[in-house]
Structure 1
């Protein structure tokens, strides 16, 4: 009986080895990519419920981001009402705006960009305005763009998460957010832009 127990123990021990080895191999983890000024906290804006900072084409006030069309408004924390407690960006200043930032990516990797979105929190925005905007990327393979709609304007803020996923084809990829909301001052808000890539 003792011999049988030893054989059984040896078999169980031998079968356990591959499992232990497999458990010791870490899964391939996502790598977080650097996004400069992801919460639009620069330029700093007074934190009550009324102040914002307008940024137009060629204005360097918003590090990491370049305005390539029209202009945008940076909302202070009190105005934005973001769940992260940060500032936010309205993609419509006096007119519809477009912003870009270049990300360092690995060719062949799957990149996921996510951010928080909300209808404009300014009480003067019409509730009939749907505030559509686009998010997209441009690299060696051309452009890929998706449309997003955070919903109807609300003075309280109604923040949800949006996501864009793509395969990188070069080491530098341009990320773009663009209002599709016409020329008015009311536009969708975004903040907390983060990016990860997976081999």
Structure 2
């Protein structure tokens, strides 16, 4: 089985009432429990009750950029998995629809990388790019990446596009293990003995 993700709703540390935001960089001593900031800066955002994803405990979310333009943040977490067992990581995603900055195409794109995973060439990585819908009224939607772990641990990374100042919000992460790797067809080995059966001779009348 896959072990649960630490701090999946970014509820720790609590940063106060909505719409408060708090900046985190790799230099923060307290940091975000379970998560490492591995690039520039990210922010925790307190969500008002009407802006929280349904079906989760998420009163906070992670914003994948810092306060300044060009601060394209990234976070990672290493989790325990079962080698060879198909695993899915999923999360809730929301676009940043805040005003105050010129909208730039692709600025809310972000990349998810999982490593090491099984590939046709052996242990490698799984990499997928996501972009939330940016239409008015767009809300939370669930995203996922499926992979087959190549070891007992995998590292999951979320990183923002360097374009523009707006960034996707994520929260409500889950990790689930499904079926194992398909078994190869059985190989039968043995020794053929004896000869073909001879037809019985029926005596003539």
Q: TM range, normalised to the smaller chain?
A: 0.7 to 0.9
Q: In the alignment, what sits opposite 1:152? A: 134
Q: Aligned partners of 2:101 and 2:15: how far apart in 1?
A: 21
Q: In the alignment, what sits opposite 1:172? A: 153
Q: In the alignment, what sits opposite 1:96? A: 72
1:80–1:88 contact (8 Å) kept in structure 2: no
Cα distance, 1:157 vs structure 2: 5.8
Q: In the alignment, what sits opposite 2:175? A: 195
After TM superposition, the score normalised by the length of structure 1 is 0.75
1:119–1:150 contact (8 Å) kept in structure 2: yes
Runs of 4+ in 1 over 6 A off after TM superposition: none
Cα distance, 1:81 vs structure 2: 2.0
Q: Residue 7 of structure 2: SS of its match in structure 1?
A: coil
Q: In the alignment, what sits opposite 2:109? A: 132
Query: In structure 2, do the counterparts of structure 1 residues 129 and 152 end up closer, same or farther at CA, with 3 Å as the change threshold?
Result: farther
**Unaligned runs of at least 5 residues, structure 2:** 118-122, 181-205
* 1:111-126 aligned within 5 A: 111-126=87-102
Q: Which has the higher helix share?
A: 1
Q: In the alignment, what sits opposite 1:53? A: 22
**Unaligned runs of at least 5 residues, structure 1:** 1-30
Cα distance, 1:128 vs structure 2: 4.7
Query: In structure 2, do the counterparts of structure 1 residues 125 and 33 end up closer, same or farther at CA, with 3 Å as the change threshold?
Result: farther
Q: Residue 15 of structure 2: SS of its match in structure 1?
A: coil
CA deviation profile, 1:133-178 (whole Å, cap 9, x unmatched): 0111011612211000112175x66111101000001001000101
Over aligned residue pairs, what C-alpha RMSD do you find?
2.2
